[in-house]
Amino acid sequence: MIYPNYIVDNFFDNPEEIVDLANSISFPHKGNNSPGARTEPLHEEHMDFFNWSGRRILSVIYPNGQTPFTARAFFQKIPKTVGEVDFIHQDTDVKLTAIVYLNKKGCDGTSLFKPKTFLTPDSTDTKKYDYYSFPEKYKGDKLKELQIEKETLRAKFNETVSVSGIYNRLFMFDGHQYHAQHLSTQKEERLTYIVFFSRIESWNAPLEGMRKI
């Protein structure tokens, strides 16, 4: 880990406009290695918002607001019917992951985890991605098998941080940290804005070689 964790409440000055933007965009990517559905990468059709929001997020760390970056950003919606979403994982190709929670009544948050031993746990999921693509298939014994796989993996970790999904809260963390969405208790669709930063250029940005394992 080279970046610490950041939590900023009331992050956007105009969260209602952000939600309106999300609801005006299509979500064509369903079950593509993530639960629910995501928009197209926002730099493709909403470059102004992508650049503005990326700079605003990074200004939490680099206050000059002009830090060059490379990232992928999406709005994501997870229906309340997709319940088994709390698989522990890493964003292994990402320096920094940023999530903004956009449900007015709040939504399921995010936890960080640390392996119980120095050995890297095998987090290969054999059923997770199939479930994300076809959640309606998972009922009865098939759903129990999925839950057992998830709990077997979870038993190899200790939870270290738990962040509630408060409306308009930004949670930012090193993408190499193990993390998972909270066990779903949603009464409505979960809406988030997610940015995966793969390159950050600043005179005081941490060097990749400084990453601690």
Over the stretch 2-17, which tens digit does the pLDDT of each residue have? 789 999 999 999 999 9
CB 76 within 8 A of CB 38: yes
Give the pTM: 0.91
**CATH number, domain 6-201, options 2.40.50.140, 3.40.50.300, 3.30.565.10, 2.60.120.10:** 2.60.120.10
CA 146 to chain centre: 21
Structure-token match 């095998």, residue found: 122
Structure-token match 């969260």, residue found: 15
Q: Which residues of the chain have pLDDT under 70?
A: 1, 65, 119-126, 203-213
Task: Convert the pLDDT of each residue in 19-61 to its tens digit.
Answer: 999 999 999 999 878 999 999 999 999 999 999 999 999 999 9
> Domain extents for the chain?
6-201
